[in-house]
Amino acid sequence: MKIQVHGDNISVTSALQDYVDKKIGRLTRLFEGEADKDIHVTMSVEGTFHRVEMTVYVHGVIFRAEEKSQDMYASIDLVTDKLELQVQRYKEKVNRRFREKGLRTQIRQTALHGRLSDTADEVDEPKVVRVKRFPIKPMSVEEATLQMDLLDHDFFVFTNAETDEVNVVYRRKNGDYGLIEPQG
């Protein structure tokens, strides 16, 4: 397991590092037996708010949460609580699928398709109700953000003219933009 903690415009003290390690210990007990874990924690101060962003990678599944409050320790508590809830919901969903379909059927489908498949009669699961197709033309990141703003969307998929890879730009909560690039 790899844990990376860093601060944006804030130094991570040993007390903060120890507190994060203690809180991550709560999360890692949910992944007992899973050796392939990476955890990234970013702390920052924005005005009077202390923001903590935590991302957990476990066997290709990504759990991410972000919280901010008036106190860094409270933000760490809130973000680990949120992640713990996400992990528990994910595990319940996977376990429910195994119980409903049977272990052998589920393992066979996972081996054939490389993923867990949904049953058609699950009511509580969201489903795809619309499919859009559109041409993806090469453009710069700046052009993509302009196009996204013109369409008044929260994200935009495009081919990056510099890297020739599919990228996504998106609007962050604070009004800035984010860019998602494929890794590896």
Burial class (CB in 10 A: 0-12, 13-18, 19+), 83: buried
More confident: 83 or 114: 83
Residue 14 lies inside a defined structural domain of this protein: yes
pLDDT at residue 49 in the model: 93
- SS3 of 47, please? coil
pLDDT at residue 163 in the model: 92
Structural domain count, the chain: 2
**Same-domain status, 100 and 19:** yes
Q: Which residues contact 36 (CB under 8 A, 6 or more apart)?
A: 58, 59
The encoded tokens of residue 157 equal 């998929």
Residue with tokens 């998929």: 157
Residue 87 lies inside a defined structural domain of this protein: yes
Q: Which residues contact 94 (CB under 8 A, 6 or more apart)?
A: 116
**Same-domain status, 142 and 106:** no
**Same-domain status, 23 and 100:** yes
pLDDT 10s digits, 42-55 = 999 988 999 999 99
Average pLDDT for residues 15-39, to the nearest whole number?
80
Residue 133 lies inside a defined structural domain of this protein: no
42: domain CATH number is: 3.30.160.100
154: domain CATH number is: 3.30.505.50
Residue 125 lies inside a defined structural domain of this protein: no
pLDDT at residue 159 in the model: 94
pLDDT at residue 26 in the model: 79
Q: Is 77 left (phi over 0), alpha (psi -120 to 50) or beta?
A: alpha
Residue 127 lies inside a defined structural domain of this protein: no
* Sheet arrangement for strand 2-8: 2-8, 37-46, 49-58, 61-69
pTM, entire model: 0.60
Q: Supply the range of the domain harboring residue 52.
A: 2-113
**Same-domain status, 55 and 90:** yes
Residue 171 lies inside a defined structural domain of this protein: yes
Burial class (CB in 10 A: 0-12, 13-18, 19+), 66: middle
Average pLDDT for residues 13-26, to the nearest whole number?
90
Residue 123 lies inside a defined structural domain of this protein: no
pLDDT at residue 140 in the model: 92
Residue 37 lies inside a defined structural domain of this protein: yes
The pLDDT of residue 148 is above 90: no
More confident: 169 or 134: 169
